Structure 1
Amino acid sequence: MARPLEKKLGIVTGASRGIGYAIAEILAAKGCDLILGYTSTSSQAPAEKLAQDLTARHGILAIPIQADLGTTAGPASLIETAKSRILEPGASRFQIDILINNAGVALNDKLPDIKVEDFETSYRVNVLGPLLLVQAAQPYLPTDRSGRIVNLSSVSSSGGFPGQTVYGGTKAALEAMTRTWARELSESATVNAINPGPVLTPMYDRNTPEFKRFIKGYIEHTPLMRARPGIDSDEVVKNAEEAGGRPAYVEEVAGVVAMLCSPESAWCTGQVICANGGMLLGLQ
């Protein structure tokens, strides 16, 4: 089987679970060596197990590294630790070929209930974290336009969903930075974002019943969210009856990320690419 990302090094933040986990799996299957970033101590065991599994199944180098991307020192620490773990003695070049800004938080509240501390946490993790990580990674990006940076945004940047003043704002900021970085880093890497809608993850499950009722109409009109008896599990089909359709599977979102990391995606940059099954049409 062809491994188009052989000998490339990728960094995936928030890699211990959910979409990040699925992204790590598909990049590893394509031959990419990986740095698996995680934040909390509770994520250490799953990140280490993922690294072991990917190494065993795909013969790649997979290194879990803990770093709090919500701090000013965390992003640079992740890059410097990766460099120290990978750079062989006597080697002259440490190169980051792929960077996936996946780690994020969603702290939802209606306007009267928004807390300053939640605003600050959200913008530190979802906006400042990716900014400082790309800043720290820039000296180690390729110089031949072969690099790939993919930022995980959300339909929330455009949807105006109730309770997502802060979360939607962080994702809109990330999309704006994506466009700027596409210009500033053009000789090193393409820079794109994807905008998933509901995805079958614990983060989506934590949404309130009120929020899920509001987005039901959107889901009902999303082409690829229609549940498929006999293909989707019975549980997914049953839940879709109430929700209006099914969320994306993490593998489906990861597939779009992998597409943007391929050599064939070299003529696409500064874009927000649909990864929401058609929940938003014509807004990318």
Structure 2
Amino acid sequence: MSRPLEKRLAIITGASRGLGAGLARHLAAKGANILIVYTSDASTAAATDLAAELESKHSVKTAVVQVDITTPSGPDHLIEKAKSAFTKEDGTFQIDILINNAGVVNPAPLGSVTLSDFDATFQLNARAPLFVLQAAIPYLPNDRSGRVINVSSITTSMGFWWQSCYAGTKGALEAMTRVWARELGERCTVNSINPGAMATGMYTSLPKEMLEKVWSLNYMAPLAATREGIDSKETIAAAKDLGGRPAYLEEVAGVVGLLCMPEAGWITGQVIGSNGGGVMTKG
């Protein structure tokens, strides 16, 4: 099996569950060593189990670190833990791939948005990626081979209901993606992806009034149409209420995997569609 990312270090925030875990599995299968970053005590078991799984299946090196990256000291603490775990015997340490995946939604209709929810959403979705990247800069490659990928959202383009906090902060992340692509051009590429509904259970936990509005938007995504004999019966049944099926984690992880490849070295400052055609843009 080809392992094009052999021994490259990938740091993934929010990596214990959902898309983050899918990204860790995908990159480990390509040979990357993985640092799994998570926040809550409730995720400790999932993070350690995932690390053991990746080492057993793919013979890569892994480490886990529990840290709140929204705190002033969190980003520096994260990078110090990475150095402790992945510094080579010759004393060198390099971060090849950084994926800013951690995020929070906090949906609320206009008129009901609270200051505390907006602050919490901004701190994790927009501020934390900036300061994690700043802490990582001294350890990025100097030959443009580095990869920084920010997980944004389809909501930044759709004017999605109840998403003042989420879409606003993810829009800020997309704007910073373009700034970072210019400032770090000799070190790494910097791109965002914009997934829509994913098979993580997140969307089914949203308020019923919001799910009803999702239907028409998902219906417009050409790849969200379900397929008898390919998609599971459970997926097909759930899609009826959502207007189409969500993305499987491996489909979105595959887009990130492509951006991490050496052949993707001419792509930077972009928001790469990863939503089944729910948003089509002309660059």
Range with bigger deviation, 241-250 or 260-269: 241-250
Structure-1 residue corresponding to 2:66? 66
Aligned AA (2:81): T
CA distance in 2, matches of 1:22, 1:277: 17
Name the CA distance, whole Å, in 2 between partners of 1:264 and 1:197.
Answer: 26
Give, as a single letter, the amino acid of the residue that structure 2 aligns with 1:177.
M
* Structure 2 partner of 1:190: 189
Note the C-alpha offset of 1:115.
0.7
1:245 maps to 2:247: no
1:92 is displaced (CA, Å) by 3.4
Letter of the structure 2 residue corresponding to residue 233 of structure 1: S
Displacement of 1:2 = 1.2
**Cα deviation 1:170-210 (Å, max 9, x = unaligned):** 00000000000000001110000000011111322221111
1:279 is matched with 278
Aligned-partner residue type, residue 35 of structure 1 = L
Residue 235 of structure 2 is matched in structure 1 by 236
**Structure 1 residue ranges (4+ consecutive) displaced by more than 4 angstroms after TM superposition:** none
Superposition deviation, residue 283 in structure 1: 5.4
User: Offset at 1:88?
Assistant: 4.0
Query: TM-score when scaled to structure 2?
Result: 0.98
Counterpart amino acid of residue 257 in structure 2: A
- In structure 2, the partner of 1:154 is 153
Determine if contact 2:203/2:211 at 8 Å carries over to the other structure.
no
AA of the residue aligned to 1:61? K
* Cα offset, 1:56, TM superposition: 0.7
Q: Secondary structure at the match of 2:198?
A: coil
Q: Please give the alpha-carbon distance, in whole angstroms, between the structure 1 residues aligned to 2:145 and 2:203.
A: 34
Q: Is 1:56 matched with 2:36?
A: no
Q: How far does residue 211 in structure 1 lie from its aligned partner after superposition?
A: 1.2
Identity of aligned residues (%): 50
Deviates more, 1:209-218 or 1:18-27: 209-218
- 2:148, 2:190 within 8 Å by CA — same for their partners in 1? yes
Q: Distance in 2 between matches of 1:117 and 1:243?
A: 30
**Residue equivalent to 1:15:** 15
One-letter amino acid of the counterpart of residue 217, structure 1? S
Alignment pair present for 1:209 and 2:202: no
TM-score of the two chains, using structure 1 as the length reference: 0.97
Contact 1:106 1:203 in 2 (8 A): no
Q: CA RMSD in A?
A: 1.0
Contact 1:126–1:170 (Cα < 8 Å) also in 2: yes
Q: Which amino acid aligns with 1:179?
A: R
* One-letter amino acid of the structure 2 residue matched with residue 60 of structure 1: V
2:88 is equivalent to residue 78 of structure 1: no
Letter in 2 for 1:207: L
Equivalences for 1:15-164 in 2 at 5 Å?
15-88=15-88, 91-164=90-163
Any gaps of 5 or more consecutive residues in structure 2?
A: none
Deviates more, 1:122-131 or 1:210-219: 210-219
Q: Counterpart of 2:42 in structure 1: which amino acid? A: S
- Distance (Å, rounded) in 2 between the aligned partners of 1:128 and 1:221: 32
**How far does residue 282 in structure 1 lie from its aligned partner after superposition?**
1.6
